[in-house]
Structure 1
């Protein structure tokens, strides 16, 4: 999995590379998802950098860019995308029974949501490259678990919101009552040839809500033949409980009396151990920095220190480097230098037991 495969433009409708917008797209709407899925990620062009030493505004292109930067190929991201591509390639032409779903699990801050989005982005790119652009096609839906989950009505709303369907019984009613949108959602998904649904935050489902939630997913799957990707810390146990309802008699005979792992493909996002994989990740961040005085491999020389500070969590590393890059850009008028130093990194707090 190369860097170019992660950041390239998908589909023939994208003409040029763009940097992160001032207002980040909301991935739980179709417009926001399509924007995030179709743009080619790129750092700001050198010609757009403010002259060194000049005061920058809060919307300076480099400040905006260093708030997120580009996705770095971690071991979990590389392996997860490989496994997902294989599974989705099979599911795409599968017609008998439900498609096999996937699980993304791992500790907080290990890149689960990034993997989820990249899976959807890659699949949408595959469909658009294969079939050509079509404004009526919606190959991927991305939702997060809703705050209310007691009924089919509540579960149907994030789908309706993504698809832009009006879910109020009377738009002029001040109480704004909503309707169960399951059937309209399923109809639109069939017409739009939706094949992949990404659900983030599955860990927010309470124990007493699991059975009803997954009964809803299966019902929707029966109507649309989509593949679900469930993402969240503890997702493996949640989905296992949903499929077998905590009752040992429901387990397959071959695993009765054993600790049952998962009968669905699980993509695991974990901390990155110190070693070559960690060095590769740090090098990826370093290559993407847009700083006037950055010296090649100066960040790589701090690789061990960065691992000690972050514990190998990609989210913590991203926080540390992004904040340091923004800080040195903003304070260059005072310091005269625009580079990330250990002294600067020492002054930034990121959590994960970092008590300095």
Structure 2
């Protein structure tokens, strides 16, 4: 019993560290080469030489670049989502039924995309660790965004094909216009996904599609899940409601549910008293809200600030430089993760370029002024 508890704690610590190590640097993550670079990237604070900054510190591009794109500071909600998906992919290995979609939902600016990519990164690292490293011709994770024109299924398949490198990028406007009549790449995409043993597909910005547009492509996603064993994560503001609407349109679940209830009532079946939940009502949803700071929760926001403090690499950074301004930072950012990360990283860059090497209200004022421009 003690050994199993120690093993569980060790694994939890590993997953938490992998989430924390995830960089927030924007890269070309919708192509396989860019994604693999993101999975492999290790973002470490630049080394400080001596006890005070040198004469070239204000132009130190390495330190400035690091503070522009800090690493993730995970919350409990982020960790639990990551753990759930990693375990689901592990359990689903070799299965072709019983898989469930996952959803990341919440207001814009709460860190949903950061979490989506962190989960995908950790999942691929877990798979590669189990299989002895990255293997040729395997693609554990596919990361796509909702097409600009999501009306036709072929455009969604084209996004996957682009990630897999199954067609060259257009080199002229004429080629871009010709792509409007491109062939359906479903068969080669399916072949690559199956032979490359893809386990997880990340679908970001799902809110750009209407319920009807999503309903038209859901049968294809069902095929990927049920026939190829690929777990799917949908991400976007309102994603859970959108998927529920799309499912209803795709399978007319409302009508089927009512018909089943009527049949049960005619048969005198007790289950007719309460309608069964629809498949989408059972979807695992991770909700990301603005980070709280109120009477009932004084810790979450401050813990995130302390996480950023640990990652900052400034020569004169005072103890609790951020957390002592928690109330003011929360007021200015609303607790939105995206805005908070921007203010902190901008304040850090200002501190380097000004020579202060510390974050005070002066740097925070300057950073929030840029935020409102």
Q: Give me the TM-score of the superposition, normalised by structure 2.
A: 0.81
> What is residue 265 of structure 2 aligned with on the other side?
none
Please tell me whether the aligned partners of residues 142 and 197 of structure 1 are also in contact (alpha carbons under 8 angstroms): yes
Indicate the SS of the match to 2:281: coil
The correspondence of residues 114-193 of structure 1 with structure 2, limited to 5 A, is: 114-132=114-132, 133-166=134-167, 174=175, 176-177=178-179, 178-193=182-197
- Which of 331, 347, 353 is the equivalent residue of 2:366? 347
Distance 1:324 1:176 in 2: 46
Structure 1 residue 60: Cα displacement? 0.2
> What is residue 243 of structure 1 aligned with on the other side?
247
The structure with the larger Rg is: 2
Distance 1:90 1:152 in 2: 29
Q: Deviations over 1:88-138 (max 9, x none)?
A: 23222433x352110110111111111111111111011101112202110
Unaligned runs of 5+ in 2: 1-11, 262-270
Q: Deviations over 1:167-204 (max 9, x none)?
A: 799x9x85544221111000001110001000000000
Please tell me whether the aligned partners of residues 168 and 179 of structure 1 are also in contact (alpha carbons under 8 angstroms): no
Distance 2:126 2:62 in 1: 30
**2:19 matched to 1:6?**
yes
The correspondence of residues 1-356 of structure 1 with structure 2, limited to 5 A, is: 2=13, 4-7=17-20, 24-47=26-49, 51-54=53-56, 56-57=58-59, 60-95=61-96, 97=97, 99-132=99-132, 133-166=134-167, 174=175, 176-177=178-179, 178-245=182-249, 248-251=254-257, 256=275, 262-274=281-293, 275-332=298-355, 337-349=356-368
Unaligned runs of 5+ in 1: 10-18
Structure 1 residue 323: Cα displacement? 0.7
Please tell me whether the aligned partners of residues 105 and 286 of structure 2 are also in contact (alpha carbons under 8 angstroms): yes
Please tell me whether the aligned partners of residues 24 and 114 of structure 2 are also in contact (alpha carbons under 8 angstroms): no
User: Do the aligned partners of residues 277 and 39 (structure 1) sit closer, same or farther apart at CA in structure 2, a change above 3 Å counting?
Assistant: same
User: Do the aligned partners of residues 296 and 168 (structure 1) sit closer, same or farther apart at CA in structure 2, a change above 3 Å counting?
Assistant: closer
Q: How many residues align?
A: 337
Indicate the SS of the match to 2:81: helix
Give the helix-richer structure, 1 or 2: 2
Distance 1:180 1:107 in 2: 35
